[in-house]
Amino acid sequence: MKKKIKTSAPGKLMLFGEHSVVFGHPCIVTAVDRRLSITIEENGEELFILDAPDLGLRAYSKNIKDLGNKNLPKEVSFIETCYKLFLEQYPQKKTIHVYSKNEFKSSYGLGSSSASTVAFAKALSEFYDVPMNKDQLFDLCYKTVLEVQGVASGFDIAAAIWGGTLYYITPHGKLAKRKTVEPIKLKNLPFLVGYTGIKADTATLIRMVQSMHSEDKRTINHVFNDITLLVEQAKKTLKQQDWPHLGLLMDENQLLLRKLQVSSIELENLISASKNAGAFGAKLSGAGGGDCMLALADKDNEKSIAREIKKAGGKIIEVEMNAEGVRREQ
């Protein structure tokens, strides 16, 4: 029988610290229970083969020596680049057929690219019997995303690897060993997730903020420092489960994200609707420009907040937070 390995990794939602995290400031991110799975089996050919039907991709193949060439299709760029980097570090003779299955739409902004990269890296480690701890998985995946996108903070990779809810600081600019990944132990995260219906371009939004920073470092650094103060407060408040206070911190974080010009009319409509329905706080989650927002709700008004988000044009994404990180399934 051909050797077969299956792994899975979770998506993520950013709670606090968007954009400032790219510049070496802390953030808080949580893993969600929508997972992406990768199955690897030996193919007995001189080809790398990938099937990702969720992305409309079937029997994509590439000669091993041609892996990672420029202008890769977006659907395969993370997995193919990860494989190239893995083989450069750990040369192998067996070639593989890869199957990808996604439990969440890539358009939701829940980190499907990072989840696929992490699940694939874990599968490679298991398939080729190359033991890799979490830090080594992170380094490979972080390098992959940097090569594909040119920019990366790594918080979504960390969430996919470690799972749970994390206080995270990026290596900031280099593939360094000096990242911070600190688990925050929580019993409950009473957030509603509203999807705008618009797919955001994360890399473009990151570069836009980088451009603003280049043009006016003093002003943007002041915004980043204010966000950092909120992240540090939120870390304590989450542990205390003080939801009214956490809601205020969310509202303040959203004000600062507006200063970075990364919100959108659609996000603001869902945020306003949830606040008017009694949410403790609400903010965008992720790069902005679309994708998802978060509303902090208690049991009494959760349904009414969800109803108002839908009335405002949003879709409620049913997810559980604080989910398990990457794992081998079989």
Of how many residues is the chain composed?
Answer: 330
What is the structure's pLDDT at 111?
Answer: 80
Lowest mean pLDDT among 56-70, 91-105, 113-127: 56-70
Which residue do the tokens 């990938």 mark?
Answer: 50
pLDDT the model gives residue 232: 98
Mean pLDDT throughout 283-299? 94
Residue the block writes with tokens 């599968």: 123
* pLDDT computed for residue 187 by the predictor: 84
Give Cβ neighbours of residue 165 (< 8 Å, ≥ 6 apart): 15, 28, 29, 30, 31, 183, 184, 186, 189, 238, 321, 322
Lowest mean pLDDT across 59-68, 118-127, 255-264: 59-68
What secondary structure letter does DSSP report for 321?
A: B
Percent of the chain at pLDDT > 70 equals 97
As a whole number of angstroms, the distance between CA 16 and CA 35 comes to 22
- Average pLDDT estimate for 84-90: 95
The pLDDT mean for the chain works out to 92
- Give me the residue spans of the domains in the chain: 4-185, 191-316
Cα–Cα distance list, 168 to 136, 186, 213, 292 (Å): 17, 16, 21, 20
At residue 299, does pLDDT exceed 90?
A: no
Q: E strands of the chain, at which residues?
A: 4-16, 27-42, 47-52, 57-63, 96-102, 165-169, 180-183, 191-195, 281-285, 292-296, 315-316, 327-328
Work out the end-to-end distance of the chain between its first and last CA atoms, rounded to an integer number of angstroms. 15
CATH class of the region 4-185: alpha beta
Instruction: From residue 122, give the alpha-carbon distance in Å to each of 1, 19, 83, 304.
Output: 21, 27, 11, 41
Q: Which CATH number fits domain 191-316: 3.20.20.80, 3.30.70.890, 3.20.20.450, 1.10.10.10?
A: 3.30.70.890
Provide mean pLDDT across the span 286-303.
Answer: 93
Q: Averaged over 74-90, what is the pLDDT?
A: 91
